[in-house]
Amino acid sequence: MAGQVLAMPLEGEGMAQVLRVVLRHPGRLNAMSRAMWRELRSVFESAQRRQDLRCVLIEGDGEAFCAGGDISEYPAFRFTPEGLAAFHDGEVWPALQAMLDCDVPLVAHIRGACMGAGVEIASCCDLRLAADDARFGAPIAKLGFPMAPREAALVARAVGDMKVRQMLLEAAVFSAGEMAQAGFLSRVLPAAELAADVLATVRRVARLAPGAARLNKRTLRALGQGAVDDPVLREPYAYADSAEHHEGITAFLDKRAPRF
């Protein structure tokens, strides 16, 4: 079985506008196969087109987030530059880029192993919540190859220069507490409490102004890329007369909850 990336509405009251994305590869700790990378891209390109979405939750099936890539597939393509290019530039990066391009807030629910590909996927998320027994790393030096350049840049931005050097140069594996101290994680909780906190976080995000969330993500993306000509930076106050803006201010003055 090549594994799957499943997308479904999140069950629960008030969750109709939340998409749940599950990395599922039984027996492989949800390691990413080539098929799964293609599916991940499709899921997030579809999510970007949905104007009703307010939040995306991504998690692994079972007790792991994602243990890396599916190494059983590697001999079939890794030993030529062309094969590596087709994999990294044609499958892995387009999936990660689709996540980075998604204007909907992304929340990562991390349990167990979060290695290699798992760290890359988590690095694309806006909020990252982890169990205190989660473990993080990219020990690919043990497999004899480096991290692809764009993927390395992504992880370095998210985890910091020293952490990524330790991951790649000494195959270091870090605890959730250490990753929180590095600024990679939003919160770390006991494993038994994590799911409830993730659900509460998703609910908070989904109840807030969805247009403002999308604008915040576009603004942060444009600033990070130095894209001074991006419309969100050239016309930063174009939202002034939006219904959402009016409702937020009016609700505050009326001392009631806003209806976004």
Which residue has tokens 């939006």?
Answer: 242
- Condensed to tens digits (0 to 9), the pLDDT of residues 185-244 reads 999 999 999 999 999 999 999 999 999 999 999 999 999 999 999 999 999 999 999 999
pLDDT tens-digit readout, 3-43: 999 999 998 877 889 999 999 999 999 999 999 999 999 99
pLDDT tens digits for 157-194? 999 999 999 999 999 999 999 999 999 999 999 999 99
Token pair for residue 85?
């290019």
pTM score above 0.85: yes
In the chain, which ranges are continuous DSSP H helix? 34-49, 81-87, 93-101, 117-123, 149-159, 161-169, 176-181, 191-207, 210-225, 231-234, 243-253
Dist CA 144 CA 115 (whole Å): 16
Q: What is the pLDDT of residues 66-111, one digit of tens each?
A: 999 999 999 999 999 999 999 999 999 999 999 999 999 999 999 9
Look up tokens 């492989």; give the residue: 28
